[in-house]
Amino acid sequence: MANSVDCPVLTLPTEIAGDIFSDYVGKAHDIRQRDSGPLVLISVCQRWREIGLSTCSLWASVSLLITSKCRWNDAKHFPLFELWLFRAGSHPLDISVSAPNGTPSRMLSFLSRYSAQWRSFAFFFHPSEAAVLDDLIHGYIPYLAKLDISGIPDGSGPVLLNAFREAPSLREVSLSHAALQSVSLPWIQLTHLKINGSLFRCMKILKETPNLQVLDLEIDLQIPSSLPTSLRVTLAHLHTFTFCFGFEGTVLDHLALPALRAVELSFLNSDGVARLLTMGARSAWSPRVIHLASMTSERSILCLGSLPSLEEVKLTTSDNLTPLLKLFTDDDHFLPALRSLTIQCERPYPVVPPTSTFAAMLASRWHRNREGVAPLTRFHLSFPHGRIMTSAIEELRTTVRPLMEEGLDVVINFGEFTTL
């Protein structure tokens, strides 16, 4: 048996040891897995078992995946589930249940008894469960701050799910293919929203969420829909916007985002870029951070050139980088406030500029001799494995080494290997 001489960690106060255990355990453990999470810690020694069993937070995050390959056995697993939540005591609970074929009724009934402790709740919704949930969850859910619901039907009929209407702490919601008629939520108090679905359904939800600060929006291109051009939603508090799989960017015609500070855009075509520029002018925004993914260099340059306020840029691209790097080098009006640049090359492989092109760009942006242009302080570059030859990497390392010694933060990733 370990003692404090052999293992000084045993002398730590229980509260400190419990905090260390919590950092190690992290979140969301499947109670059926005995080789991870708190079950590992309490099997080390008697002292660790005592600490683990007295630290309620270790047992307050539960994740369950129930499929044909990962079955749930009431007789075998339910006693363990009950014991797990018993050990959590009165600590706020983070519960995730993914059961595409329906959550076992006994589990729903059991979980509902703890609804007053839910801090976050994620589940795959099955239509047959709506009445059960509404019946089981009485009153309001005081501590629920985050809700993630997948599998909601299209909402062509009456509201299916009312169980989460009274959740005064709810701020963050993730919905998959939901319609406003599918679920009743306290929409106006939400600050974080992640939704995917048709343009029509997403816009109806956004009209009900004027206080959003963070929005992750994915338009389902398989569901054709159109909106009157006069329909417009202003999200006056939104500071972070992620938008993907809307090639033409039609939704951008209907949004105004005056407070936006960070934006991530993927797969926009020429029409989508034009709509983005129009929305930017309409919003009078001044974003500071942008991530452009899977777009041509020409479209990326159009986007970036319209946003002189940008301080941090990330590009994920398979296109030719040379035109972009030359703009950074030669044009004082192109992103004059830029301080951080990340370029992540993806397959199919881009045309990689000569080492001298990278070096010239870095030197021109690092040295503080360009009036009105902020010095670049961080440059990260990554290539897929197998593309860049060792000689080219060595040449780039040699070329930029003096800049690094002066303080420029340069990192070059080659596959899984960091060379600088």
Query: What residue has token string 């129009």?
Result: 278
348: cis peptide before it, omega within 30°? yes
Write out the E strands in 306-362. 312-317, 340-345
What is the pLDDT at residue 418? Answer: 47
CB-based contact 124:102 (threshold 8 Å): no
Across 202-206, 245-249, 369-373, least confident range: 245-249
Domain annotation covers residue 376? yes
Domain annotation covers residue 399? yes
Q: How far apart are CA 164 and CA 170, in angstroms?
A: 9
Domain annotation covers residue 381? yes
The pTM of the whole model exceeds 0.75: yes
Give the dihedral of Cα atoms 327, 332, 336, 341; nearest 10 deg.
30
Residue 15: which domain range?
A: 1-67
Q: Are strands 118-124 and 93-98 parallel, antiparallel or unpaired?
A: parallel
Domain annotation covers residue 41? yes
**Residue 182: is its pLDDT beyond 50?**
yes
Domain annotation covers residue 178? no
Tell me which residue of 33, 172, 150, 168 sits closest to 94, measured CA to CA. Answer: 172
The helix (H) or strand (E) run that includes residue 49 is helix 46-54
Domain annotation covers residue 182? no
Q: How far apart are CA 194 and CA 173, in angstroms?
A: 6
Domain annotation covers residue 322? yes
* Number of domains forming the structure of the chain: 2
Tell me which residue of 99, 92, 56 sits closest to 77, measured CA to CA. Answer: 99
pLDDT digits (tens, 9 = 90+) for 214-247: 999 998 776 666 777 778 999 999 999 999 866 7
Last residue of a domain, one of 21, 47, 67: 67
Domain annotation covers residue 5? yes
Last residue of a domain, one of 20, 51, 67: 67
Using CA of residue 157, residue 163, residue 166, residue 167, what is the dihedral sign? negative
**Residue 67 banded pLDDT, cuts 50, 70, 90:** low
Eight-state DSSP code of residue 94: E
Last residue of a domain, one of 67, 97, 119: 67
**Residue 152: is its pLDDT beyond 70?**
no
